[in-house]
Amino acid sequence: MSLLELKNVYKIYGELHALDDVSLTVEKGEWVSIMGPSGSGKSTMMNIIGCMDKPTKGEVLLDGVDIAKESKKNLTNIRRDKIGLIFQQFHLVNYLTALENVMLAQYYHSMPDEKEALEALERVGLADRAKHLPSQLSGGEQQRVCVARALINYPEIILADEPTGNLDEKNEEIVVELFHKLHDEGTTLIVVTHDPEVAEVAQRTLVLRDGKLSKEIVNEHFTGKIRFDDQNPF
Partner 1 sequence: MFGRMIRGTLVRQWKKMLMIAFTIALGASLASAMLSVMLDVGDKVNQELKTYGANIKVIPKEASVLSDLYEVEDGNAGRYLKEDELGKIKTIFWAFNIVDYAPFVNAKSTLDDGSEITVVGTWFNHHMDLPTGESLDAGVASMRSWWDLKEGSWLDEQAGESADCAMIGAEAAKKLGVGAGDTVNVSGSSADKQLKIVGVYDAGGEEDSEIYCTLDTAQELAGLDGSIDSIEVSALTTPDDELSERAAKDPSSLTVAQKEQWYCTAYASSICYQIQEVITDSVASPVRQVADSEGAILEKTQLLMVLITILSLIGAALGICNLVTASVMERSQEIGLMKAIGAHNGSVSLLVLTEIFITAIIGGVAGFFAGFGFAQIIGHSVFGSAINMRPMVIPIVAVLVVIVTLIGCIPAIRMLLRLRPTEVLHGR
Stretch 197-226 residues interacting with partner 1 (CB under 8 A): none
Please, which residue, 106 or 224, has the CB nearer to partner 1?
Answer: 106
Among 61, 66, 79, CA closest to 25? 61
190 φ/ψ sector (left φ>0, alpha ψ -120 to 50, else beta) = beta
Among 149, 153, 20, 152, CA closest to 163? 149
Query: Applying CB under 8 A, does 115 fall inside the site for partner 1?
Result: no
Q: How far is CA 92 from CA 83, 141, 144, 152, 218, in A?
A: 17, 11, 11, 15, 34
Query: Applying CB under 8 A, does 96 fall inside the site for partner 1?
Result: yes
Among 12, 61, 65, 104, binds partner 1 (CB under 8 A): 104
Rounded-to-integer distance, Cα 144 and Cα 136, Å: 14
Query: Applying CB under 8 A, does 76 fall inside the site for partner 1?
Result: yes
> Contact region for partner 1 (CB under 8 A) — 29-37, 85-93, 214-222, 226-234?
85-93
Query: Applying CB under 8 A, does 61 fall inside the site for partner 1?
Result: no
Residues 200 and 225: beta-carbon distance below 8 Å: no
Please, which residue, 82 or 183, has the CB nearer to partner 1?
Answer: 82
In angstroms, give the least distance from the CB of 85 to partner 1.
6
Please, which residue, 85 or 120, has the CB nearer to partner 1?
Answer: 85
In angstroms, give the least distance from the CB of 225 to partner 1.
28
- Give the count of beta carbons closer than 10 Å to the beta carbon of residue 232: 13
Amino acid, res. 48: I
- DSSP one-letter code for 40: S
Query: Applying CB under 8 A, does 228 fall inside the site for partner 1?
Result: no
3-state secondary structure of 173: helix
Please, which residue, 77 or 232, has the CB nearer to partner 1?
Answer: 77
Query: Applying CB under 8 A, does 142 fall inside the site for partner 1?
Result: no
Rounded-to-integer distance, Cα 155 and Cα 153, Å: 6
- Give the count of beta carbons closer than 10 Å to the beta carbon of residue 221: 8
Stretch 6-25 residues interacting with partner 1 (CB under 8 A): none
Residues that bind partner 1 (CB under 8 A): 43, 47, 50, 52-53, 73, 76-77, 79-81, 85, 87-89, 91, 93-96, 100, 103-109, 112, 149, 161
